[in-house]
Amino acid sequence: MGILNACELHCFSPEVARVFENAIERLFYLDHFRVGGATLPQKRVRAKLKLG
């Protein structure tokens, strides 16, 4: 099952679902993601997305 399928975006209006889909895709393909003082590498970001 793909990450987007696991997110159950169908629960949202099409406009809101598209915003979430864009955000999820961007997170999935980032080299790293910075949150506050922490920088998460791509491997860690993808692992978090797969937990959903």
The encoded tokens of residue 36 equal: 């506050």
- The per-residue pLDDT for range 12-43, each reduced to its tens digit, is 999 999 998 998 888 888 888 888 888 888 88
Query: For residue 51, what is the DSSP state?
Result: H
Band of pLDDT at residue 52, cut at 50, 70 and 90: low
Instruction: Give me the residue label for tokens 């696991």.
Output: 6
Domain boundaries, the chain: 3-51
* pLDDT computed for residue 4 by the predictor: 78
Instruction: Using alpha carbons, select from 18, 27, 22, 20 the residue that is nearest to residue 50.
Output: 27
User: Element (H or E) spanning 39, and its range?
Assistant: strand 38-41
Q: What is the model's pLDDT at position 15?
A: 96
**Distance between CA 40 and CA 48 in Å, rounded?**
10
Reported pTM: 0.66
Amino acid at 31: D
